[in-house]
Structure 1
Amino acid sequence: MSVSKSRSRRSFARASVFCAVAAVAALTSGAALAAGEVSPALKFAMQRDLGIFPGQIAQYLQTEKLAREQAASIEREFGGNFAGSWIERKDDGSFRVVAATAGARKSSTLGGVEVRNVRHSLKRLQQSMDLLDAGAHARVKGVSKPLAGVQTWYVDVRSNTVVVKVDEGATDAGIDFVALSGADSGAVRIESAPGQLQTTANIIGGIEYSINNTNLCSVGFSVTRGATKGFVTAGHCGTVNSIARIGGAQVGTFAGRVFPGNDRAWVSLTSAQTLLPRVVNGSSYVTVRGSAEAAVGAAVCRSGRTTGYRCGTITAKNVTANYAEGTVRGLTNANACMGRGDSGGSWITSAGQAQGVMSGGNVQSNGNNCGLPASQRTSLFERLGPILSQYGLALVTG
Structure 2
Amino acid sequence: MSVSISRQSARKISLSACVALAAAATFASGAAVAGDTVDAQLKFAMQRDLGIFPGQYAQYLATERLAQSQGRAIEREFGSAYAGSWIERNADGSFKLVAASAGARKSSSIGGVEVRNVRHSLKQLQQSMDLLDASSRARIKGISKPLTGVQSWYVDPVSNSVVVKVDQGALDRGIDFVALSGADSGSVRIEETPGTLQTAATIVGGIEYSINNASLCSVGFSVTRSSTKGFVTAGHCGSAGAIVRIGGAQVGSFAASRFPGNDRAWVSVGSGNTLQPWVSNYSGGNVIVRGSTEAAIGAAVCRSGRTTGYRCGTITAKNVTANYAQGAVYGLTQGNACMGRGDSGGSWITSAGQAQGVMSGGNVQANGNNCGIPASQRSSLFERLNPILSQYGLSLVRG
TM-score normalized by the length of structure 2 = 0.48
Larger radius of gyration between Structure 1 and Structure 2:
1
Q: Which has the higher contact order (CA 8 A, sep 6+)?
A: 2
TM-score normalized by the length of structure 1 = 0.48
